[in-house]
Structure 1
Amino acid sequence: SNYGTSLAGYIVEVVSGMPFEQYIEENIFKPLGIEHSTFRQPLPEALAPDMSTGYTYKNGAFKEEKFELLNGMAPAGALSACATDMARFMIAHLQNGAYGDARILKEETAKFMHSRLFGHDPRINGNAHGFWEFGYNDLHLIEHGGDTIYFHSQLALIPDKNVGWFVSYNTGPGGSREQLFHAFLNRLYPASSPLAELKPSADALKRLKKVSGVYGVTRMSYTKYEKIASLLMQIKVMPTKEGTLLVKIPGDVRQYVELEPLVFREVDGQGLVVFKEDGRGRVTVAFAGDVPHMALLKLKWYEQPMFHYLIIGLCVLLFVIAALGWPLAALSRKICRRKVEGNPAPKAARWLAGLMSGCFLLFLILLAASLSNTDEVMFGVPSLLKVGLVFPLVAGVLVIGVAAFTFLAWVKKYWYGCRRLTYTLILIAGVVFLWVLYFYNLLGWRL
């Protein structure tokens, strides 16, 4: 994980007493003859001309992007390297720490680094030390992929064949790196026998329904505002009428067939997914061989993004009514010179609910503006978000006043019943919306 790599970098600094960048240069780069790579940000003047430009593809054209500064999670993702330098690094690993007369790791350390550290299930790929296991066409590989916004890379080693693979893309989502790698492996190291064709069993539907549901990934922020990214990371698992399992992940759809109870293999591939039950026989988690560094947790109904989208939509509708509808109605009464209520309390109640709703709406606007700046979100905390987080706290205080006026509205019979009900719904929306914000760490500055 990025966090694990960053933590390891910090440990290196504490133990060595020198900056991580300097330690790597003296103990890894120099022995391997690596001269065109660095963890330093921004790039040193001597290396800047070597840097590839990252691109985005918009409106039918490629747009050049600036150098990405990974301030928040460096050294994870902060290495700028060329393919020839990565080749030296891979050769050192394939030779268990040695490169020519130089050595960056003891042989036993390198072998230990390449071995399995942890696996969710023995039937699927696990995690090595800094690498992920990858089984394909009877081969055992170790690999690691990496992504920034504009660059998408993959490094893989086949120790038994003394082969290393490295590819990097400077635009797009980088999905074709896997297709390219699989084509390479199929060409040079085809499977010894064709993949067995699996057909859905006649009684599979009951088990398919058992594993069906909405899943979320464990690789996310749990204590900071970045948890909001989980709204976009839901995985839907559902049965098909043909007896296969359809898995919808962001940007991709895959189909699986049952290999054995709670174990499924990709219909047109070699990927495996294993589901696990709790002590009461309920499926609660899934593990995919393609992503050994995370688990997929089955979400309860109140944890599912679609439920939260529905809540947010209904709350926004009620907030708009309170923030805009009532003031416009008051303005209309004034223009038309209609009779104004003698009791000031109902008017104060409406304005308080409108102010509370306005705070929530303003926060949502600032949140959307903050998240639209990809660079700021990826490599820091958006300044607009820091300001925007004031408004939910103000709204939280105002909710107390709205609750008091709701009580008075029913006791003293402000307005007609329908309007009292609307006011009550706005209070409920305020309370529920505060819960949603709390769920996603958006109450207070949890940055």
Structure 2
Amino acid sequence: MQSRPPRLRRALATAGGRATTFVRVLVLGLLVLTASVAATPEATTLEAFLDDLMVEQFDAHDLVGAVVTVVEIGQPTVSKGYGYADLESLTPVDPERTLFRIGSITKLFAWTAVMQLVEQGLVDLHADVNGYLSTVRVPDTYPAPVTLAHLMAHTAGFEDRSVGLFARSPVAVRPLAEMLADGMPARVRPVGEVAAYSNHGAALAGLIVEEVSGLAWNDYLEARILAPLGMANSTGEQPVPGALEPDLARGYDVVAGSFQRRSFDYSPLAPAGSMSATGSDLARFMLAHLQDGAYGDATILRTDTAQAMHRTHATNDPRLSGIAHGFIEQTFQGQRTIGHGGGIVAFNSLMVLVPEHGLGLFVAFNTLAGAAATVDVAAAFFEHRYGADGVPVEVLTNPSVHRPDVVGGYRPTRAAHTTLDKLAGLLQAASITHAGDGALLARNLGLPGATRWLPVEPLVYREVESGDLLVFQEDGNGRIARALVGSQPHLAYDALAWHASTGFHVGLVAVAVLVFLSAVVGWPLAGRWWRGETGVARLARVTAWTASTLFLVFLVSLVVVLRDPMELAFGVPPLLRAVLAIALAGVALTLVGAFLAVRSWIRGDWSVVGRVHYSVVVVAGAAFVWFLDHWNLLGFRY
């Protein structure tokens, strides 16, 4: 049964041009039919709820298709498709046959594979991963080694690397060992210190599965997990095998008010995000985990292994949710859940398990707007299941425990440190400001919009609507070092020094631009400054003018090339290399200009005002060079 809500009806009028009147009438008729079916006595309460919920979601978000699957031990599985798998052919979503890209939910299969090797005695979760690797080596940056347990908890201390995370051609998908050898992220903090979600960490675990088992990742996935569970309509192959390709949902984005179909995007780090799966197949995987590793006649994990996999093994703070062996904890209506989200360009999905109640939910969408919809569906589902008043949020504020020094800028621990994608940190930075009476107002803290937090105990604040917790940690000197959000156990937010804040760097660039313009525009306009200048004095002015021009051209070009930051995830555009070369030329001229500025003061070139202005231009250039180096834009760091 497929439900096609109103927003999809409206979208059909613009998708790929104008939909015919026949199609619009057809969709309207199907909506009426769906409503009639949902109202029949045969429809279960859950099915009716899901139908109503999905109508709301399609009306609230730009969605094309979706699948929702609910499993519960001892109860029939409910798996339903909504909307279209292919908007052009009007192919409806079939929960049995339609494959959705599930992105990072693939990691749960990788962690399951690791635990299979653990129970066979082939790997030790607490041993140095380098002992299992022959083609790649994790650097010994810190005394304690990286282990599989760290990889599963995202506490290996890796920086984030987003350049080349996706690809548009299978040519870019090289062997896993080769990918990791060329793009091993730097270790930027000791293991176990704090969580920082890592795709490369999951891929490294997949490589260990390959090396220890002797099977390529996709072969292992098929032989040891998919085939035993009967997941015949799911795969890790990219592109999907020919027999499954007709059933693959197409991904869509909204461009200028119209749905635009996207091409198949590849995930080169396959164990971290390559899978495509159906809702019905994922029901089998969820039940296998809920039933302690068993599904039907198949056993993919021993009972003790499965139970160990689902227990909490790491947390940024004992008062907050943590991470099991790869599963991320969340709390819905007072219930401890474990699961994982998945996002790969135009697909968004979420899997949530409640081990204590044998309950599981999977939802997926084939549009970018599905990211918000997955969260809405999960929240509504658990509210429906456990009641809106399952756990009342009681915020007993205590303004006397408010710490003024928690206010400031913060940056996620999931961030690049040594490559040019560090620049994303300018956009990722969170801000926390005073909101009166000890309350805090947070923006960009991994939650939509601005959120208000009230102090409840020292260094602990609670969000007024959701009841989420915000905990601050101190360093050894009692200074605020980090902010932790309860609903985000897979990362944290490092406090920023004033000179690392977004405001400081934006201000620095703004001032530098004004100074550069004063030279680039001001000097030619004041033509009298050039009269009579010869030799070194003229060379000095031309050098600084050219450096300023190059830096301005660099900034404009960088904005143009990176106007869609997502493009970096597909690799470094050739034009960006040219832009970086422009910056290097500006740096070289700035060095020459600095020497000539000193010379101008020694020789008394120009007037005092002229020498001061020239020196200010050179200092602005030097400050800009520091900015470039700070964000890894000096040279070709990718």
Same fold per superposition (TM over 0.5): yes
In the TM superposition, 1:409-420 aligns within 5 A as 409-420=600-611
Seen in structure 2, the aligned counterparts of structure 1 residues 375 and 48 have a Cα distance that, compared at 3 Å, is: farther
In the TM superposition, 1:138-157 aligns within 5 A as 138-157=334-353
Seen in structure 2, the aligned counterparts of structure 1 residues 26 and 307 have a Cα distance that, compared at 3 Å, is: same
Q: 1:231 maps to which residue?
A: 426
CA contact (8 A) 1:237 1:245 kept: yes
The structural deviation recorded for 1:218 is 0.4
Give the letter for the 2:544 counterpart: A
Structure-1 separation of matches of 2:566 and 2:397:
46
Q: 2:500 maps to which residue?
A: 303
Q: Could you tell me which of 328, 343, 357 is aligned with 1:132?
A: 328
Structure-1 separation of matches of 2:563 and 2:271:
25
Seen in structure 2, the aligned counterparts of structure 1 residues 342 and 300 have a Cα distance that, compared at 3 Å, is: closer
Seen in structure 2, the aligned counterparts of structure 1 residues 107 and 341 have a Cα distance that, compared at 3 Å, is: same
The structural deviation recorded for 1:184 is 0.9
CA contact (8 A) 1:83 1:166 kept: yes
Q: 2:478 maps to which residue?
A: 281
The structural deviation recorded for 1:192 is 6.7
The structural deviation recorded for 1:136 is 2.7
Give the letter for the 2:551 counterpart: F
Q: 1:187 maps to which residue?
A: 384
Q: Could you tell me which of 34, 39, 50 is aligned with 2:247?
A: 50
Q: What do residues 215-236 of structure 1 show as CA deviations (whole Å, max 9, x unaligned)? A: 1110111111111111111111
Give the letter for the 2:605 counterpart: Y
CA contact (8 A) 1:324 1:354 kept: no
Q: 1:378 maps to which residue?
A: 569
Q: 2:552 maps to which residue?
A: 361
Structure-1 separation of matches of 2:454 and 2:297:
50
Structure-1 separation of matches of 2:250 and 2:536:
62
Give the letter for the 1:213 counterpart: G
Q: 2:27 maps to which residue?
A: none
Seen in structure 2, the aligned counterparts of structure 1 residues 263 and 202 have a Cα distance that, compared at 3 Å, is: closer
Q: Can you give the 5+ residue segments of structure 1 that lack an aligned partner in the other structure?
A: none
In the TM superposition, 1:77-116 aligns within 5 A as 77-116=273-312
Q: 1:442 maps to which residue?
A: 633
Asked if residue 163 in structure 1 is aligned to residue 354 in structure 2, the reply is: no
The structural deviation recorded for 1:161 is 1.3
Structure-2 separation of matches of 1:399 and 1:151:
46
Structure-2 separation of matches of 1:400 and 1:438:
14
Give the letter for the 2:307 counterpart: K
The structural deviation recorded for 1:342 is 4.7
Q: Could you tell me which of 609, 621, 631 is aligned with 1:430?
A: 621
Seen in structure 2, the aligned counterparts of structure 1 residues 92 and 438 have a Cα distance that, compared at 3 Å, is: same
Q: 2:220 maps to which residue?
A: 23
Seen in structure 2, the aligned counterparts of structure 1 residues 141 and 259 have a Cα distance that, compared at 3 Å, is: same
Seen in structure 2, the aligned counterparts of structure 1 residues 287 and 268 have a Cα distance that, compared at 3 Å, is: same
> SS of the residue aligned with 1:165?
strand
Q: 1:292 maps to which residue?
A: 489
Give the letter for the 2:292 counterpart: N
Structure-2 separation of matches of 1:323 and 1:10:
53
Structure-2 separation of matches of 1:213 and 1:340:
50
Give the letter for the 1:13 counterpart: E
Q: 1:257 maps to which residue?
A: 454
Q: What do residues 309-352 of structure 1 show as CA deviations (whole Å, max 9, x unaligned)? A: 111122222233434543x448x67xxxx983153222211111
Asked if residue 421 in structure 1 is aligned to residue 616 in structure 2, the reply is: no
Give the letter for the 1:137 counterpart: Q
Q: Could you tell me which of 400, 414, 434 is aligned with 1:203?
A: 400
The structural deviation recorded for 1:65 is 1.7
Q: 2:210 maps to which residue?
A: 13
Structure-2 separation of matches of 1:272 and 1:375:
30
Structure-1 separation of matches of 2:482 and 2:270:
31
Query: Superposition RMSD on alpha carbons, in Å?
Result: 2.2
Higher RCO structure (Cα 8 Å, ≥6 apart): 2
Asked if residue 246 in structure 1 is aligned to residue 246 in structure 2, the reply is: no
TM-score when normalising by structure 1: 0.91
The structural deviation recorded for 1:39 is 2.2
CA contact (8 A) 2:584 2:634 kept: yes
Q: What do residues 361-401 of structure 1 show as CA deviations (whole Å, max 9, x unaligned)? A: 33323322332345531122222222322222222222221
CA contact (8 A) 1:208 1:238 kept: no
CA contact (8 A) 1:273 1:287 kept: yes
CA contact (8 A) 2:431 2:444 kept: yes
Q: Could you tell me which of 407, 415, 422 is aligned with 1:220?
A: 415
CA contact (8 A) 2:353 2:359 kept: yes
Structure-2 separation of matches of 1:315 and 1:263:
40
CA contact (8 A) 2:396 2:456 kept: no
Seen in structure 2, the aligned counterparts of structure 1 residues 388 and 183 have a Cα distance that, compared at 3 Å, is: same
Q: What do residues 268-298 of structure 1 show as CA deviations (whole Å, max 9, x unaligned)? A: 1131111112233222211111110111111
Structure-2 separation of matches of 1:140 and 1:372:
40
Seen in structure 2, the aligned counterparts of structure 1 residues 148 and 322 have a Cα distance that, compared at 3 Å, is: farther
Q: 2:542 maps to which residue?
A: 351
Structure-2 separation of matches of 1:339 and 1:357:
17
The structural deviation recorded for 1:193 is 5.7
Segments ≥4 residues shifted beyond 6 Å: none
CA contact (8 A) 2:398 2:457 kept: no
Seen in structure 2, the aligned counterparts of structure 1 residues 312 and 21 have a Cα distance that, compared at 3 Å, is: same
CA contact (8 A) 1:70 1:379 kept: no
Seen in structure 2, the aligned counterparts of structure 1 residues 43 and 407 have a Cα distance that, compared at 3 Å, is: same
The structural deviation recorded for 1:426 is 1.5
> SS of the residue aligned with 2:209?
helix
Asked if residue 119 in structure 1 is aligned to residue 318 in structure 2, the reply is: no
Seen in structure 2, the aligned counterparts of structure 1 residues 440 and 202 have a Cα distance that, compared at 3 Å, is: closer
The structural deviation recorded for 1:49 is 1.8
Structure-2 separation of matches of 1:245 and 1:375:
31
TM-score when normalising by structure 2: 0.65
